[in-house]
Structure 1
Amino acid sequence: MNAFTGQTFQMHQIINIKEVIQFTSISRAKLYEMINVNSKYYDPTFPQPIRLSESRIGWSALEVNQWIEAKLEQRLE
């Protein structure tokens, strides 16, 4: 089950990179560039990953959703 079920949003869910890619339509490489402070494509508004274990990271579904909502609002300006 993913974080977005129809119109329902589960606020406290951690999602993996495949789900972030699916929800944002951003490639894995571009996503890592967007969170890399040293990249020219760095986006400080994009949610930073959460370290879940030594070898695993995830993203807050809520934060990713908020980022998408902000992008939609910018489109209307």
Structure 2
Amino acid sequence: MNAQPQPTEDGANADQASLLSPPPARLLRLPEVIDRVGLRRSAIYQRMSEGRFPKSRSLGSKCAVWVEAEIDAWIAAVARSPD
């Protein structure tokens, strides 16, 4: 049996709604941040202290995370920079 997509409140079906809605927010651990931005741990923390990199959030005494959207915005800003 083929299930039919259910319409949402605005009349679009669920497949269309999922294409329009942003993906859920993710939290990134340091190894993934390093892979995405190409900086070493020390450079990330140095730039954070200078206010030139998104701040991490603490989830516990030994768990720091970054908001993915903030990292993506930082990457986009660096890509737009003429330097």
The two structures share one fold, judged by TM-score above 0.5: yes
In the TM superposition, residue 52 of structure 1 has moved relative to its aligned partner by: 0.8
- Which protein has the larger Cα radius of gyration, Structure 1 or Structure 2? 2
Q: Quick one: distance in 1 between partners of 2:23 and 2:48?
A: 23
CA distance in 2 between partners of 1:65 and 1:58 (Å): 14
1:1-77 aligned within 5 A? 10-36=23-49, 42=50, 44-75=51-82
Out of 45-54 and 13-22, give the one that drifted further. 45-54
Higher RCO (CA < 8 A, seq sep 6+): 1
Aligned length: 62
The TM-score normalised by the length of structure 2 is: 0.66
Identical aligned residues as a percent: 21
1:30-55 Cα shifts (integer Å, max 9, x gaps)? 1111112xxxxx2x241100111122
CA distance in 1, matches of 2:34, 2:42: 10
More strand by share: 1
Task: Give unpaired runs (5+ residues) of structure 2.
Answer: 1-21
C-alpha distance 11-69 of structure 1, shift in aligned 2 (>3 A): farther
Letter in 2 for 1:65: D
